Copies of this chain bind each other. A is one copy, B any other.
Amino acid sequence: MNVAIMGFGVVGSGVAEVLKNNAAVIEKKCGVSLRLSHILDIRTFPGSPFAPYMTRDVNDILNDADTDIVVETMGGTEPAFTFVSACLNAGKHVVTSNKELVAKKGYQLLELAKKNGVNFFFEAAVGGGIPIIRPLSRCLAGNNITRVAGILNGTTNFILTKMIVEQMDFAAALRLAQQNGYAEKDPTADVEGIDACRKICILASLAFGSHVYPDGIFTEGISALTLDDVAAAEALGCVIKLIAQTRRLENGKISVLVSPALIKKTHLLSGISDVFNACLITGDAVGDVIMVGRGAGKEATASAVVGDIIDCVDHSSARKTFGWGDAVPGLVEDIDAVPAAFLVRAETSGKDSDTAALAAALPGCTMLDSDGSTLLFVTPSLPQGKIKAALNAASLRVRSMLRFFEES
């Protein structure tokens, strides 16, 4: 069977190499040999062993009746969306690692795949090489999924690990991540939680069966975190991780959010360090299941793409039942109505009056530190909007608010 690759960047070239280097094991697993047919890229790669496959014209792929499977590793929404749509309409299976494309256009592309009787798979879009999509959609299919929560961005986890373990401040840790190639020159999508948001939207769509779009999802990054926050977490026996999470709420809606969160050191997620990712899935039958591994990197991500290619081969005649439905307006609960407990740091000039005002506006807080110019306290678990309103009513100058991760 013939496979074309669109986008010869880090992941695309990794896919080409895994297909070549592991040809024997792949043929053994899927019963047919996979041959590379075309690689689409606007750049040229003279001297590359893959140079003979290169093309700049997507029609070379679309019009090649012998190319059954197309891998999209271009990234971004366009022209990826146009090209992937054309491939699906041409009756080709598509495998992508492009989380932005799936988060923004997943439902449309899944419908297009269904209409054309082909598969559209994207295991590599979340957690790199860690199996998450297939376990969630298939192994745990007998469960009512109640929650998905994870450390889904390796760059921020590396930065936080440096802040926690080596007391580096955010700026220094970011520079180190950039030097190591873990962070881009413009690190916004990683450090502001945008990348993690796309991934949790994909997982929420799969877990709850309706497309969840990233627009409007509460997304807080790690760029405002300080070593004071790290120390306050430590004093509570916690570490700070960037957690992307979604949960079925009692009112039937779902919460979807990305934010730094305080995790007790006794919880397994607290031990996921450096560029590693982890995804916790809770189902009513299975309880908690956690998958851990490298969430990015050329070979790891390529590994997931190749797993999907093999699944396409196995479902080349009978399409696999996989996907989700259209977005349901109002399904995602307003962040202000989502309950959580917070660690709050506020400035104070008159601590007695401020603590009295806090006690009146928000009963049940636990004061950790009221020395000097700072109040440090833990709130009860309440809808976030109520907590913010109470802190406002108490006229506190809030410096930081850190959500506690709910273990169950």
30 contacts between A and B (CB under 8 A): A22-B284, A25-B141, A25-B143, A26-B142, A129-B285, A129-B287, A130-B286, A131-B135, A131-B140, A134-B134, A134-B138, A135-B135, A138-B310, A139-B307, A142-B309, A268-B271, A285-B299, A285-B300, A285-B303, A285-B306, A286-B300, A286-B303, A287-B293, A287-B297, A287-B299, A288-B294, A289-B293, A291-B291, A292-B292, A314-B321
| Alpha-carbon distance A14/B287, docked complex (angstroms) | 14
9 smallest A-B Cβ distances: which pairs? A142-B306, A131-B139, A131-B135, A129-B286, A285-B303, A289-B293, A286-B303, A285-B299, A290-B292
* Chain B residues, Cβ within 8 Å of A375: none
Nearest B residue to A128, CB-CB: B286
Say yes or no: is A302 at the interface (Cβ < 8 Å to chain B): yes
How does the 8 Å CB contact mask read for A21-41 relative to B, with 1 for contact and 0 for none?
A: 010011011110000000000
| Alpha-carbon distance A144/B306, docked complex (angstroms) | 12
- Residues of chain A touching chain B, judged by Cβ–Cβ distance below 8 Å, are 14, 18-19, 22, 25-26, 28-31, 123, 129-131, 134-135, 137-144, 209, 268, 271-272, 283-294, 297, 299-300, 302-307, 309-311, 313-315, 317-318, 320-321
| Alpha-carbon distance A88/B19, docked complex (angstroms) | 34
CB distance from A135 to the nearest CB of B (A): 4
Pairwise interchain contact B307-A142, C-beta atoms closer than 8 A: yes
Nearest B residue to A287, CB-CB: B294
Between A139, A300, A307, the greatest number of chain B beta carbons within 10 A of the residue's beta carbon is seen for A139
CB distance from A388 to the nearest CB of B (A): 35
Pairwise interchain contact B29-A321, C-beta atoms closer than 8 A: yes
* Chain B residues, Cβ within 8 Å of A268: 268, 271-272, 292
Pairwise interchain contact A321-B285, C-beta atoms closer than 8 A: no
CB distance from A348 to the nearest CB of B (A): 39
* Chain B residues, Cβ within 8 Å of A313: 321
Q: Which of B22, B130, B286 contacts A293 (CB under 8 A)?
A: B286
Seed contacts A268-B272, A290-B292; 16 additional CB < 8 Å A-B pairs: A14-B285, A22-B285, A25-B143, A26-B141, A29-B321, A135-B291, A139-B304, A271-B271, A285-B302, A286-B304, A287-B299, A287-B300, A290-B290, A292-B292, A314-B318, A318-B318
| Alpha-carbon distance A25/B28, docked complex (angstroms) | 34
Nearest B residue to A311, CB-CB: B138
Nearest B residue to A124, CB-CB: B139
* Chain B residues, Cβ within 8 Å of A306: 141-142, 285
Between A268, A286, A297, A303, the greatest number of chain B beta carbons within 10 A of the residue's beta carbon is seen for A286
* Chain B residues, Cβ within 8 Å of A137: 29
* Chain B residues, Cβ within 8 Å of A310: 138, 141-142
CB distance from A132 to the nearest CB of B (A): 9
* Chain B residues, Cβ within 8 Å of A297: 287
Between A141, A303, A307, A309, the greatest number of chain B beta carbons within 10 A of the residue's beta carbon is seen for A141
Pairwise interchain contact B302-A142, C-beta atoms closer than 8 A: yes
Decide: A131 near B129, CB < 8 A? Known: A289-B292, A300-B286: no
CB distance from A206 to the nearest CB of B (A): 10
* Chain B residues, Cβ within 8 Å of A315: 318
| Alpha-carbon distance A364/B272, docked complex (angstroms) | 34
Pairwise interchain contact B142-A289, C-beta atoms closer than 8 A: no
